[in-house]
Structures are given as C-alpha cells and as structure tokens.
C-alpha cells in the first residue's frame, strides 16, 4: 500500500506537473484523467488500510489489491501510447510485489492478468474501440509491430515471474536455514546454561555427599551395635525399625547424589531383556507392594539386546518403583511393563494407574533435583535419562496430562 501511494504521488504527480507547465492553456483539461487516477488510488488505498486493520481475509485483500494495481498500470499504458508506453514496466513491478506479498504462485496470476489487460488494450487500440481523451498520447503502429511489442511484453512478464520465483525460493531456503541455525543456537545456549548450573550443583552435591557419607556410616554402625545389645519391647522395636528405614533412605539419597556426579561408564554386553525385567519385578515384589505388576513381551521370554545390564536394571527398578508410589502405599496399584521390537528399536513402556504426569511437567521431571514428591530430591529420573542417553536411546512420557503415567524407553536394537 505504501509503495503504491509513493509511485502514484511521485510518478503521476510529476507527470501532472509537467503537463501543467508545458501546456498551460489547456492544463486543467489535460490533467483530469491523471488526477482522477491519483484520487481513485488514494481512496482505494484508504479502503484497503481499513480492511487490513480488521485482520480478516488478508489473502483475498492481497489479490484484490494486486488486481487493482494491474488495472492502474493498464490505465496508464492506455493513456500513454498502448503497448509502446513506458509505463509497461509497472506490470513487471507488481509481478515482483505479488511474489513478495503472497508467494510464488501469485506471480503467474499477476502475469496472466497483466498480459490479458495488455492484449485488450492493444486490440481496442487497433479497432478503435477505446475513446481517446484529450491528454492521451496516441502512437499509430502496424499490426506486425503491435504483435511484436505484445509478445515481447508478455514474454518479459512471465520471465520476470520465473526469475522472481527462483529468487524467492532461494531466499526461503536461506531463511529456513537461518531459522534452524537460530533455533539451534538458542538450544545450545540453553544447554550450556543448564550444563553450567548442573556443574555447580553437581560439585556441591558431590561435596555434600562425601561429607555426609562418613558420619552416616559411623551413626549406622553404632546404632546396629547398640541395637544388638539391648532387649526391646514392642514400642522400641517399632522405633528401631523407623530409624533403620530412615538411615537407609539417607544412604540411598547420598548414593544417588554420588552416582549422578560421576560419569556414566557402561559395560556393553549381550543379555536377555525379558529375563532382566522378570528379575527386577521379583526384586520389587520382595519389598512388598499393595498391588500387582504385569509384564508382556512381543517376543515371548527371550529378547537379547546389547547394553549395560546393571545400569538398565537400575533404570527399570526406578521406573517400576515410581509407578508403585504413584497411588500411595495404602492404595492398590497396577504397573504394566510391555516390550515391543522392530528392525531398529526396542520400546519398553512402564505404565501405572496413578494420577499421571501433568503436560507442563513432562520435560521438567527429567531435570536433576526436580521432584513432585514431598520427600524426594529429584535424581531418580535424571539418572534414568543419563543412562538411556549413554545407550544412544531416549526416554519420555507418553500422553502426558492424562490419568496413569506411561514412561517410554527407546533403545537401539541390533540382532
């Protein structure tokens, strides 16, 4: 819209000025047609601007404007000599504008409209169907010359459209590449900031864990010795059990902190994944649960994969325990482990019937020290993610935001 106003103001305005200066005796009559075009263009542009502010049907608005601009160019061509007019360049200009505003397909739409209008003007000139206005510059040319000018102009219109489309395609590719690079840069900066933050937290956690571990070992050993020397009543036995449980919990937390701060070193070997899952289920059940654990595998009882058996065992143990704790110790829980395999990947799903994972937390729960539990420190799932990523796999939450959480592990599969 601004470009149109600028062209009309400068180009047509200067033409009116020249007409008034050169032929002062008939200036008013000779400039009427040009002034009418200027006024009509301003009025239409105001209407276009009001439409644009509504933010509705903008694609249609663009096509209407381009069609109107083609008519404006045709009017100037008609006024200044037909196909030999110097204003035929406006057709090419609006073809380029069509590519910028709408896209590549619009260039041929604009070229076709421009070509049709130019042919109509040429035919009407030749047949005398168009009335002449006082200021019109009429140039008489032979039919062969007329056809030559028509073909040159029409060919140049489609040629400009094709060249602009090539340019737009290259700009789009370059723009998409810049967008990807910019997004990748943002991701790298975010990862760098997270790595710095985790490095500080990891160093602090390692120092804290080492400082706690030795006094904890001394307290635990002393308690065991004192506990074995005295006879206890029922109340004391319960208190002793609570102390032992809490000491083990502290020890587990300290070990998790130390494990997270150490680099993950894996020992790859071939093992039966189905047997590993069965062993983990047996281990979990030995601790006593109020519920059931189901296991199903698309390959029966044998599915051999490559990986670190101990590390993956810890991952599965964490996920199954999370599922058991999802409804609380007093509620009946069901945890289902399913394994499927294709030519490239093994997929392990651990599903529970708990309250699920909120959609907004589906990424955060794998961050270190992030926990939804009142008594958790948020390292279990972070450790799981590290182990799976070292195995060149991925772990995520399927269908977050619904009841019942499903954790998906994808590992590369080699027969």
What pLDDT shows up at residue 251? 76
Indicate the helix (H) or strand (E) that contains 412: strand 406-412
Residue ranges of domains in the chain: 2-185, 201-261, 269-412
Which of these, 91, 93, 83, 89, lies nearest to 122 by C-alpha position? 83
- Series of mean pLDDT values for 10-residue runs along the chain (415 residues): 81 66 46 75 88 87 87 81 80 87 85 89 67 54 80 90 87 85 86 73 69 74 71 73 76 72 78 91 80 83 88 90 72 86 89 85 80 71 87 89 87 83
Domain 201-261 annotated CATH 1.10.287: yes
Q: How close are the terminal C-alpha atoms of the chain, in Å? A: 64
Domain 269-412 annotated CATH 3.30.565.10: yes
What pLDDT shows up at residue 348? 93
What pLDDT shows up at residue 393? 92
What pLDDT shows up at residue 138? 55
Rounded CA separation 96/110 (Å): 9
What pLDDT shows up at residue 24? 45
Question: Bridge partners of 272?
Answer: 304
């Amino acid at each position: 819209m601004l470009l149109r106003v600028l062209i009309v103001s400068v180009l047509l305005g200067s033409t009116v000025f020249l007409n008034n200066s050169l032929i002062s005796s008939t200036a008013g009559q000779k400039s009427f047609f040009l002034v009418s075009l200027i006024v009509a263009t301003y009025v239409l542009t105001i209407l276009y601007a009001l439409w644009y502010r509504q933010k509705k049907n903008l694609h249609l608005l663009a096509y209407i404007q381009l069609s109107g601009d083609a008519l404006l160019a045709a009017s100037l061509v008609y006024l200044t000599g037909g196909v030999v007019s110097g204003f035929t360049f406006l057709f090419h200009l609006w073809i380029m504008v069509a590519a910028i505003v709408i896209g590549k397909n619009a260039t041929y739409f604009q070229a076709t409209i421009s070509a049709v209008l130019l042919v109509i003007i040429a035919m009407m000139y030749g047949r005398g169907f168009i009335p002449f206005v006082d200021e019109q510059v009429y140039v008489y040319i032979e039919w062969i010359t007329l056809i030559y000018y028509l073909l040159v102009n029409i060919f140049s219109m489609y040629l400009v459209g094709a060249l602009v489309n090539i340019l737009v395609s290259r700009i789009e590719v370059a723009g998409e590449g810049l967008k990807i690079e910019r997004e990748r840069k943002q991701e790298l900066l975010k990862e760098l900031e997270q790595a710095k933050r985790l490095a500080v937290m990891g160093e602090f956690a390692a120092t804290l864990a080492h400082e706690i571990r030795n006094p904890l070992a001394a307290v635990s050993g002393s308690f065991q010795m004192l506990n074995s020397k005295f006879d206890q009543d029922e109340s004391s036995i319960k208190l002793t059990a609570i102390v032992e449980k809490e000491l083990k919990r502290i020890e587990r937390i300290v070990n998790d902190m130390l494990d997270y701060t150490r680099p993950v070193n894996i020992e790859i070997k071939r093992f039966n994944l189905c047997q590993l899952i069965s062993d983990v289920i047996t281990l979990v059940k030995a601790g006593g649960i109020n519920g059931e654990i189901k296991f199903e595998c698309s390959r029966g009882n044998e599915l051999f994969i490559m990986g670190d058996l101990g590390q993956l065992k810890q991952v599965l143990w964490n996920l199954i325990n999370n599922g058991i704790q999802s409804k609380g110790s007093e509620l009946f829980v069901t945890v289902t482990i399913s394994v499927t395999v294709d030519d490239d990947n093994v997929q392990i799903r651990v599903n529970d019937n708990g309250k699920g994972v909120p959609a907004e937390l589906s990424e955060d729960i794998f961050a270190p020290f992030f926990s939804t539990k009142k008594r958790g420190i948020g390292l279990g799932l972070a450790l799981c993610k590290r182990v799976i990523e070292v195995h060149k796999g991925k772990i995520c939450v399927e269908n977050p935001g619904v009841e019942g959480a499903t954790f998906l592990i994808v590992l590369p599969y080699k027969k």
